[in-house]
Chains A and B, each alone.
Chain A
């Protein structure tokens, strides 16, 4: 730590000096005029050019005019033969190409350099040339590129191959495809890098042709490569193919992976082992050979090899701990490795594979050097603790203590966040330890610099605190936040206090006093919240408290903003209707990830969607004029449904979008035949009762390999019918075309069609999940007068947890109060679900499940909208 501090200090002081500090863009550009001198000073020009590049890389932007002027000055530097200067010229040409106009003017100069005698110029000239050449001009340099790919000089050949890949990815697909023969020749090069780059290019050219890729991998692996990089690449390619299909159907590739485990180069062996570990659905038995080679690496004298091996074993231990058990002895040898990263990974792996008895010993060992490792590895430790918690619930107390100690020590945000998440996960899992956990978190927020964590914990306290034995003991901690923290945290604290007031009658009076004090806060938000909560609490009405304090609205913030803007832009006498606002699609992280889901070194294995899909859909759909009058998008189906078998000529996936009175079916269509151009592509649907087809939006032209989207707009005619099945046919005009250019052979096409799988519309398509943090309060709020009830025998369901899963999925509602977690030792369970039905009607479901031979269910549905109530109840039959 001291070392780091010392370094930082130096860094800060050093930051103010340096030759390129405080450069002014205008001054530097002024200096660049020296490039125009008839007699060039190489040294001076080199320095100026470096300054320009430095500025650009620091994020200083040049206007197109500035860039163009500078660019033309740079072109004059070609008269200098100075090698350093010329290479800087190449670099700057590449940079300028992004902004300046007419960069194409250096084409001849660059082609001259790339074919010239000076080898030092050639590779860089190729790279620069490919950057300035746009797709329409590639043809002009094609001849040079082909020659360069097979050039005897490896740096030239590599540069050409890599540049070809860039051009290819920029979209000049057909031209680059014509270079396959040259790339093929380069792939047999003796030079390791050239071979590697050639394989890379060949792969990208064939990427969409699964058969060709498989062929390429088998052929290259049979003939044997010189380049270990090449092997690693082949391994990765093989995995990509295997990922997309049933492994059993492509034994050849799998055998190739296995054979690489016996390669003489460690890098290749490791790559193969890692690849196998990452294959989805790999069984424990299949992993055995990979684990064996990794085990051998554990005793390698090279730290990097040991590190790689233990890191990968750590990963395996998360999914198949049993397979790794065989390495326990070797791992034990590493727990005191002087490389602390290796030691940490060894210990955390052992925590996952070892038995309960070893937990104490390992935790002690790791405590001894916890202060020596970086945050990233501390996070690994936290994640390991999390998984130990699932395995050994009896260890919760000691692990909680350990976590609390970690929380007290120094550390960055991600690390602290991981600890807090783990503590929360343990609390959720084990109610006995809830009090202790909450106290640790209370202590943590007393001195917590991370606003995000503080607000999160305050939120948790507001939800969980009132349900503990002694709610009053948390009030002090929360109120302290109101006195000491930033406005965001103060606001969160006020909300948290109000929740105690709403849930615990005996605390209400004191809470009102505390809230009253908040009215003097200097932040608007804090004052507003306090005032609102006070007024609500004073009414002493359960339904009001539920709607405004315990279960606040869960609309999408972006959607709310959009709806308010739309409302304000048109003069309107009606009041704003909150029901028109789309619901938050990804419910904010109310229940943190179950502790079964683990991350490693910060990288999440099961990653949650980050960008809001909803917002992306809204943007795409609202761009289509036919859909602009449909109102806000209510819901989109979660994952696209495949309407074609895999490996057919056309691939069609369907996403369903629900509006207030309409459905939009989105069909993503891919044409996998390179000798066909499809036109006027649409999916014709057969009407079904309650729904009517309004219009089709076809794809005008669908060339090979580029997915495009067609839509069908359907009206919902009858609000008492929510489900139906649509029969679909893909219709289009086929034109045969030249596989190389994509140009149709003649203008005359013929009609063709292709039958697709059916698409079902279900209740869940009309339902949006919402979270009710306090379900009971909302339940009371809607009241008994708005409910329907029924008893059902669920003969098709195996057991209670199966029923819970199926009912939740079928209704498309959100489980609340962790009622999705079923205790397997009990024969009854209550499932609580919340949702919003199309049209903005909130609906709650309480399903009491019991198992007596078969599963039976008594289901109560509450909604203020009677139709919704009945639809949900009827859907179960």
Chain B
């Protein structure tokens, strides 16, 4: 594996590295999303609530991603900003079935966007309307509306995808979009 990787880098096939921040409320499915992209032998069998953060690395369409998977629990949310300066993209995961806390999610997203470090950055924002399989789930359009994505500043490309992190449905499309954005911005 390593040999291939080195060879690939040498040939210039994967020469891109991207640091990505994955945030969102607790229990929204961040760790599950990231787990989906990990190579089979390093996948965790069970996902437990994250305490603090965890770093994962994987390769998608020639980009080597380093993802900081943050904990969504209230007491850790103020620590997200520690990782803003280096980040080159944000994945914001939303539990589409949890109507009650959509408002909290909206506040957190906009607080992030208003943060001085993020504000002056030109980075893509990729929203995932996760858990679309649950029967209470709102559609991606409804979520986009409730989350007031239209308010996002013009310098930041954004998009929203309906996903099911357990099966992986929708995730590849989301990552393709993100990869493309990263390539064009750089």
Contact = CB atoms under 8 A, between A and B. Distances in A.
Q: Is the pairing of A and B real?
A: yes
Interface of A: 36-39, 72, 75-76, 78-79, 81, 102, 104-109, 111-112, 117, 140
Contact of A79 (B52, B57, B79, B85): B57
Interface string B75-115: 01001001101101000000000000000000000000000
11 contacts: A38-B17, A38-B86, A76-B55, A79-B55, A102-B79, A105-B51, A105-B52, A106-B53, A109-B53, A112-B44, A112-B54
A109 B31 CA distance: 12
Contacts of A39: 17
B50 to A, nearest CB: 5
Contact of B88 (A38, A78, A81): A38
B66 interface: yes
Nearest to A140: B51
Contact of A109 (B52, B83, B85): B52
B71 A108 contact: yes
Contacts of A79: 19, 55, 57, 66
A108 B86 contact: no
B52 A38 contact: no
Nearest to B66: A79
Interface in B114-164: none
Interface of B: 17, 19, 42, 44, 50-55, 57, 66, 71, 76, 79, 82-83, 85-86, 88
Nearest to B44: A112
Nearest to A117: B42
B53 to A, nearest CB: 6
A254 B19 CA distance: 65
Among B53, B76, B85, B88, residue most surrounded by chain A Cβ atoms (within 10 Å): B53
A75 B66 CA distance: 13
A72 B86 CA distance: 12
B66 A104 contact: no
Given A36-B85, A104-B51, A109-B53, 16 more contacts: A36-B86, A76-B86, A78-B54, A78-B55, A79-B19, A79-B55, A79-B66, A81-B57, A102-B79, A105-B52, A106-B52, A107-B52, A108-B51, A111-B51, A117-B42, A140-B51
Contacts of A107: 51-52
B6 to A, nearest CB: 14
Nearest to A35: B86
A37 B85 CA distance: 10
B58 to A, nearest CB: 12
Contact of B76 (A38, A76, A105, A117): A105
B19 A38 contact: yes
Contacts of B42: 117
Contacts of A76: 55, 83, 86
A104 B42 CA distance: 24
B85 A108 contact: no
A109 B69 CA distance: 10
Contacts of A81: 57
A140 B17 CA distance: 34
A111 B55 CA distance: 12
Among B55, B71, B85, B86, residue most surrounded by chain A Cβ atoms (within 10 Å): B55
Contacts of B66: 38, 79
A55 to B, nearest CB: 23
A195 B54 CA distance: 33
Contacts of B71: 105, 108
B57 A105 contact: no
A37 B54 CA distance: 17
A225 B158 CA distance: 65
A75 B86 CA distance: 13
A421 B19 CA distance: 70
Contacts of A104: 51-52
Contacts of A36: 85-86
A57 to B, nearest CB: 26
A112 to B, nearest CB: 6
Contacts of B54: 78, 108-109, 112
A365 to B, nearest CB: 67
Contacts of A38: 17, 19, 66, 86, 88
Given A79-B66, A102-B79, A108 B50 contact: yes
Contacts of A37: 86
A38 B87 CA distance: 8
Contacts of B88: 38
B176 to A, nearest CB: 22
Nearest to A36: B86
A109 B76 CA distance: 14
B37 to A, nearest CB: 15
A72 B52 contact: no
Contacts of A105: 51-53, 71, 76, 79
B178 to A, nearest CB: 16
- Closest 7 A-B residue pairs measured CB to CB? A105-B52, A107-B51, A78-B55, A108-B54, A72-B82, A108-B50, A79-B55
A825 B44 CA distance: 87
Nearest to B31: A108
A112 B48 CA distance: 11
Contacts of A112: 44, 54
A75 B50 CA distance: 15
A728 to B, nearest CB: 50
B36 to A, nearest CB: 16
A104 B82 CA distance: 14
Contacts of B53: 75, 105-106, 108-109
Nearest to B87: A38
B31 to A, nearest CB: 9
Contacts of A117: 42
A392 to B, nearest CB: 71
Contacts of B85: 36
A108 B30 CA distance: 14
A117 to B, nearest CB: 8
Contacts of B51: 104-105, 107-108, 111, 140
A653 to B, nearest CB: 44
Nearest to A102: B79
B125 to A, nearest CB: 18
B17 A109 contact: no
A107 B88 CA distance: 24
B115 to A, nearest CB: 16
B73 to A, nearest CB: 11
Contact of A108 (B17, B19, B52, B83): B52
